[in-house]
Structure 1
């Protein structure tokens, strides 16, 4: 595994120090308890994803993966080694997602390659499928829509039948087809997502980034329909906002609410309701919950408002520039 990751030493992080102490007390090797704690730590970080700052969460991912790398030379059985590769792959995948959110494309690509290498060693097709799906989103944000379709389809081929990643890859393909102006392909993808979602075993009381759930399906549908100019996007976007925004407190918004407000603005522009559209996109911009990888989506609305020479255009442009200069950090 030396070609996958260099040996790293934890840097005093409390979480990782606790893991190391438990490992030394229990067995002195990478035993089942240590691996279970690492897996639990990953799940906790994946559940924090919707509501956390990408930069803050990335620091925690870095420290945990450093600890995974620290364990690579520890004594372990083949089964334990596979578990270590798997949890390392998950941490690298989440790290790549956070780099994408922060518009750090090269770092994201490197982490995706490492995650895929670890998954290959562990023969873990689900992580490999997530790598392709995540890369599809990365290239979509760069405007490579046809490449995003290809990567989404590659993810679907690797994805276990009926899995969350199979659904997510289908939804991602739908978003890419929307950017290509393919309404037939969009509606086909939305229909497949809805059918697949009905058979997915629900996970109660969790918002895990790698577990598909109804709110995510609504959010993807809102974005996809907004991108093809379908006024039905308004209904889906409002449902996301109503369901996830607690009492209008933007500090408690999951980042998905900010994206839904951008979707709502696009739908309202299509329906020739520019005043409401300006209000919706301004809420998103001023919330501080739009990650850098989604700034371009807000900019599309700002430019549409400017093209109509609306009086709100100047304030929106200033708000957008303020957000961009801060570089605040869901896909």
Structure 2
């Protein structure tokens, strides 16, 4: 047994060596984290009186004199207790944070149907309220939860700003979501910030950027809804580049999706539900030119959207109609192509990528039916819709 006059850290190290006790074994005996044991041995942390007693018992060390510089005095213990008390003091109740979380959830679930400008304004108002809570005194756990909720609102605002064609605000919100996710240590919020970056690049025709961003984001998102959507954004980009690896990517996305639990609220924008896979598959295979497979997936999207609860998916139905229009054009049916494709403009709620997809159909029509009256009419309709969106 070590003499009581020895420095505690030295005694601790000597006894561990003499007894062949590893840091992991000592952590098991004392129920402390291995990292805490390591910090004490390295002199990075001073052990508390309780830690000295527990480690001494575990190793058979007789202790250290009260004058040891590494021991914690009663006065220091009181300071530590006061620090804990202050850290746990808050001006915000947990009920307030729960109400905030419910509000954020409802807005995320309203994304598919609520008009973009209204959703933007409501989200900004809730963001202001959440930020005011962050300005108050909170516990550490409350502070993190508030950061997470503000992070989700930033993700939502990034998407909605892009839908209403305010691209500068969308990118500002995307960057904010990334920083908030980093501060909160929340991988999925970080993942969605990457997903927005990939989506914006896809809509703007920067396909190689999409692949790079999607692959980087997947490392942060892990097996989550954000991770699945990043894989499928990569698949879309590869399809637009005529790269058959889009098929491999979409299969990978399906395997990731199978690892997620079935959502209670599939309309939540940041939850990837199984029906959303059909929506992505229809577009990816249409872009690849795999018309038979694309038609099957597009028909399934329409079937889902025309069910009683299908009113939740106007943006998916619009995209499916564009895909069906492209497929009809390739079959030689110009009338159906224009009629079905024009149906995509019927909905007030529009995705930020809808007009880009409508341009896909126009390119297909011009390539196959140059100069046809119906093609000119579709072009004029698209120009009019773009002007209305920019107004």
Bin of the TM-score, shorter chain as denominator length: 0.7 to 0.9
**Could you say which residue in structure 1 is the equivalent of 2:238?**
177
Alignment of 1:28-177 (within 5 A): 29-160=91-222, 162-177=223-238
- Cα distance between partner residues in 1 of 2:226 and 2:352: 24
Instruction: State how many pairs are aligned.
Output: 300
| Cα displacement (A) at 1:268 | 2.3
Aligned partner (choices 331, 339, 345) of residue 279 of structure 1: 339
The ranges of structure 1 where at least 4 consecutive aligned residues each deviate by more than 4 angstroms after the TM superposition are 246-249
Which whole-Å deviations, capped at 9, do the CAs of 1:92-148 have from their partners, x for residues lacking one?
A: 111001112122221111111111111111111111011001110001111110001
Separation of aligned partners in 2, 1:166 and 1:327:
31
Q: Which has the higher contact order (CA 8 A, sep 6+)?
A: 1
- 2:69 match: none
Matched, 1:300 2:371: no
CA displacement, residues 58-82 of structure 1 (integer Å, 9 cap, x when unaligned): 0111001111111122121000000
Query: What TM-score, normalized to structure 1?
Result: 0.85
Unaligned runs of at least 5 residues, structure 1: 1-26
Cα 1:295–1:225 shift into 2, 3 Å: same
| Aligned CA distance change for structure 1 residues 84 and 281 (closer, same or farther; 3 Å) | same
Aligned residues of 2:314 and 2:347 also touching (Cα < 8 A)? no
Q: CA shift at 1:188, angstroms?
A: 0.3
Q: Which deviates the most, 145-154 or 311-320?
A: 311-320
Give the drift of 1:205.
4.5
How far, CA to CA, are the matches of 1:125 and 1:195 in structure 2?
20
Query: In the alignment, which residue of structure 2 is the partner of 1:239?
Result: 300
Match of 1:228 among 277, 288, 300: 288
Higher alpha-carbon Rg:
2
